[in-house]
Structures are given as structure tokens and as C-alpha cells.
Structure 1
Amino acid sequence: MAASVKIGILNDIADFTGEDPSAPEGSRPVPGDITGWIEREIDALRQSGRFDADVELIHAYALGLPSGTAEAVEHAYRQLAESGVSLIVGPAIGDNALVATPLAEQLRMPTINWAGAERARGRWMFQHQVGSHEDESLVIARQMASLGRKRLAVIYDLSPIGTRHLKYLDGEARVLGMEIATKEGISPLADDVYDIAAMVLKAAPDGVVYLGLGLSAPAVSRALDRAGWDGPRIMNTAGLRGYHGDFAHACNGWLYIDMHSDANSTLKAVMDRMEAPRRQALAVAKGHDIGRLVAEGLARASDFTREGVRGGLEQVKWLPAAEGHEGTLLGFGAHDRGALHGRYLVVRQWLDGETREVAA
């Protein structure tokens, strides 16, 4: 086996903080950077004697969708491929993962995206599901049905993320005997949706759903508050933005889809070892699982060629996941490109700036 391997890290999530990922490295913190988690899990395998190769991490930054361009993502991806990496980790935004997927297939580059786009899978593109445009919508519909809701109003981003969520929400609502009474699309960057909110509330819904990337979610929340709406409101994993800035307070009372459960024993063990505060539970769960996928894939690879790493990832199976409800498993397979198996989505709610798990 080769003595060293290069891994590319494609960071495309600067929109979480509004920072510019094209700025020189070191001039600002990198939001959502998973480098430390990958290093941590590789070191754990070194200490166990299962891995002894040198690993070089190479970074590329892309101001991708929705605030940037698909071309920026493609440029960053090709930059990493040309640098000689055997594996790329990223992108993290669903729209950008869809851009990268055909590139992974064309360049025969093993890639693990950590986005919600189920369609961002292929022979060479693996998906670690930080949410799912398809699965989240089913959980949302079932949660609203459990609350006795029958007529939903939906405000969704006019983007591949928003429209994909809407398609699956509509399908599951029909199965459950619910009706989408009204739906209105907005810009993913919308800041004023008062008129849209007033319009959907005229349909007399008994539940409101927001679907999208989340940049426009605070505007939706403000508009509903001003209209006096006091019924249940729920959003997709856009609610994960509550871990940053003022989002949690701006969207107080919203149910949302998260990736961690307070009852997950694997997560609890990692949190205890790290002495991590409760507020970091999501970051710990996500980081641990992504890092472990990378480390285990390398350790199981026959060699560090791209073909060898792809085969190594396919051999990662049935590892306990820190994400999701207790019993969620982590791994891939010969024709399995979705990393998380089981009840990996968790309904939570933002209340007074804190996230609280909602009973299943």
C-alpha cells in the first residue's frame, strides 16, 4: 500500500455565516470545516494499529449556490482532482452536490458529499445524508398528521432543494389524507415575505410548512408572527441554522428536522470523551460520523488509488452512528451510496434559543 494519500476537502457552506470562501485561507474562520473530525478519526485508527499511512488534506473553497454559482463549485472540484487527491469530501449543500455528482462520475473520483440531495449519488459519488430532500418531507408530513393537522400551507424556496421537498411532501400528505391547501414559492434569499404569508393564510390552513435552504426562513417566521399565526409551524433541516447566530430566536417555536437525538448512546459516549457542551451535539454527531466514514474507508482500501478507495468505502458497514435515533447505522455497499440507515432524522423544536427533542 502507498505510504501516503491525499484527501480533498471542498468547502461550500460559507453562506451559513455570510463569509466569503474565496478570501485567503487564515483570514476568517471556515464555517462547517470538518478537517479536525477527519484527522481525529484517522488518529484513532492509527492508535489502534489499523492505519499507518501519512494523510495530506488539501482544501478548496467555492462560493456555491444559492448565493454563488455552480461554476465556482465545478472549478473547486476540478482543482482538487488535478492536485492528485484520491478522495474528495464535500460539497455540503444539496444544489452544489448535484453539480459535483456528474464530475465525480466523469473523473472517476471517490467523493463523499454531506448534503441532502438523494440524487447526488453514483458509482463514484457517496452521500452522507445531512438531511434528505426526500425523507425529511415524509417525516414532516407524519409529524403534522400526528398533531391532527389536515390542511397545510407551504412556503418553499424556488430552488432544486425547495421544489424537491415540496414534491415529496405533497405525495406523503396524500397518503396520510392531508391536503396542501396552498403553496407559494419565494426566492431562497427573500427578506420580505409579508404579502406571501398573508396570501397563504387566506386558505385557512391548520399547519404551516417552510421548505428550503433556510436563508429566507427568518423572514417567513417574522411574517407569520406579524399576521398573528399561532398554529404549528415546521421546517426541514433548514432549522439547523439555529445553531448559528440569531436564527433560533428568529424562528422561536418552530419544529424542524435535526440529525441528533438526546438518547443516542454512541453520541453520548463521544460527547463524554470530548467533554463537549450540549450545544455542540449536532456538530459532534455529524463530524464524528463523516470522519469515521473517511477513516474506515481508507483503512479498508486495498490501495490508495481512486479505485482502491472506492472499494474501501464500499466495505464500511454496520457501524453505530452518532447521528439519528439510537440504533442508526453507518456504512455503504456495492450498490449502496447512502451512509445512514435507520431513523436518522429527528424532530426537534427551537424554544427560547434552545433545541429540544420532540417525542416520536
Structure 2
Amino acid sequence: MPASVLGTVKIGILNDMADFSEPDGCGAVPGDVTGWLERELAVVREAGRITASIDFIHAYGLGLPSGTADAVERAYRQLAEAGCSLIVGPAIGDNALAVTPLAEQLRIPTINWAGAERARGRYMFQHQVGSHEDESLVIARHMAAIGCRRLAVAYDLSPVGTRHLKYLEDEARVLGIAIVSRQGLSPLAEDAAETVDALLESGPDGFVYLGLGVSAPAVARELVADGWDGPNIMNTAGLRGYDEDFARDCEGWFYIDMHSDRNATLRTQMKQLNAPRSQALAVAKGHDLGRLVAEGLARASDLTREGIRVGLEQVKWLPAAEGLEGTLLGFGIQDRGALHGRYLVVRQWLGGETREVLAA
């Protein structure tokens, strides 16, 4: 009998989130993905592909931007000392960057579900919930497609915001779009009057926000106060619109999401869970993250940290619930990005609901 179906494995759940008010069908609290992992592990267990006992070990450290990277690092070490063979988390890009060196140093296979492409390594795998690099390309191309040629950009003064800005500038240059003004602001800003006023003075025909999203409502409210009626778009910060207050502040904004109404895998999962449309994103990413963990364990030759790392590398070409139909899920020997294909979807907040924007 393969060693991967014997014994006990400890899975660490690293929660770095303060309060991300997104409906989640299986997680009991924001940032807790245990329910989704249990659901997908039950599938492989029922198929007889794994019989190992699973112990979930939880650690919490309030990470950036509200907390500190040090808190997340302490939580990661706590899971390492508890003997976890696999760690899932963090969820915020800045925090994933902070713990990546620890994953490499301690040689613990880890799956972050954040947007930092740089948060990858031999032991650090990334389930891309957005991408600091890819999202800005999609944003630039969407704005070009609707006729914008002069963009004003508000961005968080953080690794998230500045990384997005770099890739937006690069793609805008390729497309012949001018970034006529750029202004940084605190990731926790509650007042963006000076920032927005300065940006609008440049006479843009399109407005972009890049960041984690805490400061986005302040930017959106100031645009309304200034009478701006041009097109707006933000990165996956717009996922915060699953909270009705955020959606109301960002009415009419385009943003980058992770789910498509046309994805057959997602539709199947939604039907099985009898989930409302408002939970589509939670279901999509929860299913995919859970399946990565379940398949990685089921394909491991043994339940050591090294065996699980190799098992994750064997996960390939699974249909993803995230992204457009045809998006695939998996890793490889030197491939640490889980989602392959058109996994980013342009959507828009209208009347408190998210609407998919079909590509021209």
C-alpha cells in the first residue's frame, strides 16, 4: 500500500486576515479555509486514494496592512514547530512575500492564496487569488478596448500597489496608452481628497485604482464628489465588493475577479452546494484550493514534507472552478503557479451585484 494513504498528516492553516467580509460557504471565519479543504479531502478519501488521518492546526497573525509581517512570521513558525507537513496561507500578497523565505529555510511545502507571483519557491506554491503582475495587463487591455488613452492612477504605497503600477505602466507603453498622472496613498487611507484632486487635474479619460482595497472606497467617494463620470477600474481589490458597503461606494467600477458565470466546473459546484450567486467567488476559490491540497496529498509517495512537495508537483491539468471555462489547475517540477489559462475575469459592480463583462 502506498505510504501516502497511511499514518497521520498535520496541515497548518495560516490566517493573516483581519476582516475580509466575503461570504464563504465553508469557512467559519474570514481567512479560515478548513471547510473547503475538508470537503475536497472527503472526495479523495471516498475514492480510496487516501486513508491517512488529517489534523488541522490553526495559527493566526494579523498581517499587513493592518498588522505586521512579524506577526505572520511568528504564526508560520508556530505551525512549523507543531510539526505541520503542509501549510496553507497566507492570503495577502505582502504577507506571502514575508513568509516565503521561511518556507524555503524550513523546507515546508506551503500553498499561499495571494496575488504575489514573487511568493514562489521550491517549497512555496501559489494559488493565484489575483496577480500583481497579470491583473495590470488585463486592466490596461480592457481600458484600451473601451477607448481610454489617458489614465490617472491612484495606488497604494505598498508592495502590492507599486508592483501593480509597474506592470500597468509597462503594458500601457506597449498599447500606446499614456499614464498622465500617478499618485500614491496610504493603504489604510480614509480620506483621498488631495490624491484624487491632483489626479483629475491631469485631464484623464480613465481612472485606475491599484492596491489592497482598504483605501479604495475613499478614492471612489472623492471621485463622485468631484463629479467624475468617466470609466473606473481597479484590480482584485474590487473583490471587497462582496461586502455591500464597499459595493455601494464602488458602484459602476470595473474590477478584476476570479470567477466566470460560464465556467462549467463552478456551475456544478454551485449546484451541489445549493449556493447563492453571491457566493460564487468563495465557492470557486475554495474548491480549487481544496482540490490542490487533496490531490497533492493523494499523489504523495509519503507524508513527509518532501513527499508532499513532490505530490503537489504531480497535480496537473485539473479543471478549475476559477476563471473562464477551460482554465486548468496544477503545478509542475518548476511550476509553482496553480492556475493556467484565462483565470482573471473583468466584472463590474452594478446595483450591488457583480456582472461579468464579456470580452469584445
TM bin, normalised by shorter chain, reads over 0.9
Gaps of 5+ in 1: 19-28
Match of 1:107 in 2: 106
Deviation sequence 1:305-327 (CA, Å, 0-9, x none) = 00000000000000000000000
Match of 2:57 in 1: 58
Q: Superposition pairs for residues 262-277 of structure 1, below 5 Å?
A: 262-277=261-276
Q: Does 1:168 align with 2:167?
A: yes
Q: Does 1:90 align with 2:119?
A: no
SS in 2 for 1:121: coil
Rounded to whole Å, the distance in 2 between the matches of 1:115 and 1:195 is: 30
Deviation sequence 1:98-140 (CA, Å, 0-9, x none) = 0010000000010000000000000000000000000000000
Rounded to whole Å, the distance in 2 between the matches of 1:136 and 1:92 is: 17
After TM superposition, give the deviation of residue 3 of structure 1 in Å: 1.2
After TM superposition, give the deviation of residue 15 of structure 1 in Å: 3.7
Match of 1:9 in 2: 13
SS in 2 for 1:355: strand
Which one-letter code corresponds to 1:13 in the other structure? M
Rounded to whole Å, the distance in 2 between the matches of 1:286 and 1:10 is: 16
Q: Superposition pairs for residues 254-333 of structure 1, below 5 Å?
A: 254-333=253-332
Which one-letter code corresponds to 2:222 in the other structure? A
Rounded to whole Å, the distance in 2 between the matches of 1:62 and 1:255 is: 32
Rounded to whole Å, the distance in 2 between the matches of 1:240 and 1:6 is: 31
Q: Superposition pairs for residues 128-277 of structure 1, below 5 Å?
A: 128-277=127-276
Q: Is the 8 A contact 1:93 1:114 kept in 2?
A: yes
Match of 2:343 in 1: 344
SS in 2 for 1:74: helix
Q: Is the 8 A contact 2:244 2:352 kept in 1?
A: no
Q: Is the 8 A contact 1:15 1:67 kept in 2?
A: no
After TM superposition, give the deviation of residue 196 of structure 1 in Å: 1.2
Match of 1:118 in 2: 117
Q: Is the 8 A contact 2:96 2:119 kept in 1?
A: yes
Which one-letter code corresponds to 2:262 in the other structure? A
Deviation sequence 1:61-93 (CA, Å, 0-9, x none) = 011000101110100000000000100000000
Which one-letter code corresponds to 1:102 in the other structure? P
Rounded to whole Å, the distance in 1 between the matches of 2:46 and 2:259 is: 27
After TM superposition, give the deviation of residue 32 of structure 1 in Å: 2.9
Q: Is the 8 A contact 2:18 2:66 kept in 1?
A: no
Match of 1:80 in 2: 79
After TM superposition, give the deviation of residue 30 of structure 1 in Å: 2.0
Rounded to whole Å, the distance in 2 between the matches of 1:59 and 1:326 is: 34
Match of 2:25 in 1: none
Rounded to whole Å, the distance in 1 between the matches of 2:261 and 2:17 is: 26
Which one-letter code corresponds to 2:76 in the other structure? Y
Identity %: 74
Rounded to whole Å, the distance in 2 between the matches of 1:179 and 1:118 is: 26
Q: Is the 8 A contact 1:14 1:30 kept in 2?
A: no
Q: TM-score, normalised to structure 2's length?
A: 0.96
Structure 1 runs of 4+ aligned residues shifted over 3 Å read: none
Which structure ranks higher in relative contact order (CA pairs < 8 Å, sequence separation ≥ 6)?
A: 2
After TM superposition, give the deviation of residue 17 of structure 1 in Å: 5.0
